[in-house]
């Protein structure tokens, strides 16, 4: 419930940005800078779930709570130093840095320098917030971190609503900064009061294995950073308003991922770690198959229905204020492509959790680097010659090829006990089950506009009853309908 509220606030924030500012150079720079900040924080926080948290759980099991606190505090202090260094670099040299690594002119960046200056503190605050949230989640405290993280979004939304006329889009960043500061304070107070956490810093011995894993994870995260940053640069070079439209579309596309995939993966990842620690590989495979079966059964219909209703969704959410028809058309175009990336994101999230649980980070690094570089290079040429259609077509085709072909070899190499081919067959069955429904819905869409989702879901449940894709689903739905 709290996660839905927090994500809802984030989404509201985007809706009001679209309402007050539409798509413009100012919003392009804001979304560009904010995306880069998130990527920087993600680059550093990549060590959390991949290495630091699993190793911290081992320390907790073998040496106790006090040793685990010292272990987590050590990395928290390292994050603090990295964040402070990034803050000084971005605060004093933001314009030359962003003008060198982006397609924006120095004069445009100088006109919006307040966005750059205010955003310079965000990497430090995001890194610390993400890190301590991960620590608390691992200790199975879910609600308190969500409430604390929601504060940053509430402050950002409130500042936008009250000060957009006076400060413009800078109000969003100012509110976010204030919210993140309070967020971190609340997280630390909670850890101190509820967990009796002692924030003492002491030098601990990091073994060569952990050091190697940290280095490899950072190389992999750097490859992901370059890939995602390449997308930002490509889109921001295609004209004013394009990257803003892309950012708005991502908010719609991320709804099923944030509300379904991310939540299930967060809990499943902990279970993966527990089963892998006990070497219950058969159970790992069963958990993976069951989770992915249900998630994809839900996601694939969402993808098809979102494609059908993209125009309606965008107009309902954004088409008001300074957001005009041209802006809406761009966002609709992006949504219809990007929504089909959600199943790939789901697969990638669960495969990453599996690899982390069995500590195969080093081996998967090479696949990650090669895939990201290959996709980015092909995307560069397809965008250059075919524009936006080339960009999105390449993005979809290359991602699906990676998860349906390359990952077969990856899983056979690292986790032969995961029946990945069986999973792909299941994925194909789910798509084939939905495809006729999508075609029929598309044909009758104009005539039964409001009935299509009901028709689609009812027929899908009936087909599932006969195909037996999810055996228990029919019984669960039947019991739900007949609740007295």
pLDDT tens-digit map of 167-188: 888 999 999 899 889 888 888 8
Mean pLDDT of 78-93: 92
Tell me: pLDDT of 77 over 70: yes
Instruction: Decide if 46 is inside a domain.
Output: yes
Tell me: pLDDT of 44 over 90: no
Q: What is the mean pLDDT of the chain?
A: 83
Of 53-62, 187-196, 254-263, 308-317, least confident by mean pLDDT is 53-62
Q: What is the pLDDT of residue 342?
A: 93
Instruction: Decide if 401 is inside a domain.
Output: no
Total domains present in the chain: 1
Residue 148 binned pLDDT confidence (cut-offs 50, 70, 90): low
Q: Which one has a higher pLDDT value, 223 or 289? A: 289
Q: What is the pLDDT of residue 475?
A: 52
Instruction: Decide if 422 is inside a domain.
Output: no
Instruction: Decide if 144 is inside a domain.
Output: yes
Q: What is the pLDDT of residue 125?
A: 92
Residue 121 binned pLDDT confidence (cut-offs 50, 70, 90): very high
Mean pLDDT of 220-233: 82
Instruction: Decide if 118 is inside a domain.
Output: yes
Mean pLDDT of 205-217: 73
Report the percentage of the chain scoring pLDDT > 90.
13
Report the percentage of the chain scoring pLDDT > 70.
92
Instruction: Decide if 432 is inside a domain.
Output: no
Of 89-98, 180-189, 445-454, least confident by mean pLDDT is 445-454
Instruction: Decide if 42 is inside a domain.
Output: yes
Instruction: Decide if 84 is inside a domain.
Output: yes
Q: How far is CA 153 from CA 5, 172, 178, 258, 369, in A?
A: 10, 9, 10, 15, 33
Residue 304 binned pLDDT confidence (cut-offs 50, 70, 90): very high
Measure the CA–CA gap between 484 and 163, rounded to whole angstroms. 49
Does pTM top 0.85 for this prediction? no
Tell me: pLDDT of 87 over 90: yes
Q: What is the pLDDT of residue 307?
A: 93
Q: Is 407 in contact with 274 (CB distance < 8 Å)?
A: no
Q: Which domain holds residue 120?
A: 1-204
């Amino acid at each position: 419930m709290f996660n839905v509220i927090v994500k809802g606030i984030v989404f509201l924030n985007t809706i009001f940005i679209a309402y007050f500012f539409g798509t413009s150079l100012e919003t392009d720079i804001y979304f560009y800078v904010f995306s880069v900040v998130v990527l920087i924080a993600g680059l550093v926080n990549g060590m959390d779930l991949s290495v630091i948290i699993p190793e911290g759980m081992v320390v907790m099991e073998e040496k106790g709570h006090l040793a685990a606190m010292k272990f987590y505090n050590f990395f928290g202090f390292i994050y603090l130093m990295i964040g402070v260094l990034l803050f000084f670099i971005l605060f004093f040299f933001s314009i030359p840095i962003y003008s060198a690594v982006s397609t924006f002119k120095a004069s445009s960046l100088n006109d919006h320098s307040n966005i750059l200056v205010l955003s310079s503190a965000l990497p430090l605050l995001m890194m610390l917030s993400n890190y301590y949230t991960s620590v608390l989640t691992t200790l199975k405290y879910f609600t308190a971190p969500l409430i604390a993280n929601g504060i940053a979004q509430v402050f950002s939304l409130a500042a936008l609503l009250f000060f957009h006329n006076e400060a413009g889009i800078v109000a969003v960043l100012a509110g976010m900064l204030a919210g993140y500061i309070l967020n971190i304070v609340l997280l630390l107070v909670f850890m101190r009061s509820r967990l009796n956490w002692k924030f003492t810093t002491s030098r601990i011995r990091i073994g060569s294995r952990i050091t190697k894993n940290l280095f490899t994870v950072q190389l992999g995260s750097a490859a992901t950073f370059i890939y995602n940053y390449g997308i930002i640069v490509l889109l921001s070079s295609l004209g004013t308003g394009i990257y803003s439209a892309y950012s708005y579309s991502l908010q719609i596309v991320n709804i099923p991922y944030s509300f379904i995939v991310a939540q299930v993966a967060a809990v499943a990842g902990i279970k993966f770690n527990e089963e892998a620690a006990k070497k219950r590989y058969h159970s790992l495979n069963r958990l993976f198959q069951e989770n992915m079966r249900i998630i994809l059964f839900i996601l694939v219909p969402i993808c098809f229905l979102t494609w059908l209703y993209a125009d309606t969704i965008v107009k309902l959410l954004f088409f008001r204020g300074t957001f005009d028809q041209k802006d809406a058309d761009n966002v609709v175009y992006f949504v219809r492509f990007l929504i089909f990336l959600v199943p790939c994101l789901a697969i990638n999230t669960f495969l990453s959790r599996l690899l982390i649980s069995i500590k195969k980070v080093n081996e998967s690094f090479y696949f990650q680097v090669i895939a990201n570089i290959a996709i980015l290079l092909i995307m560069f040429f397809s965008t250059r010659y075919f524009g936006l259609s080339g960009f999105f077509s390449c993005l979809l085709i290359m991602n699906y090829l990676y998860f349906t072909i390359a990952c077969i070899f990856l899983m056979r190499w690292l986790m032969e006990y995961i029946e990945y081919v069986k999973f792909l067959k299941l994925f194909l069955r789910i798509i084939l089950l939905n495809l006729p429904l999508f075609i029929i819905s598309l044909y009758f869409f104009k005539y039964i506009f409001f009935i299509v989702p009901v028709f689609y879901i009812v027929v899908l449940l009936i087909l599932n009853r006969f195909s037996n894709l999810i055996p228990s689903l029919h019984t669960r739905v039947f019991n739900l309908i007949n609740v007295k």
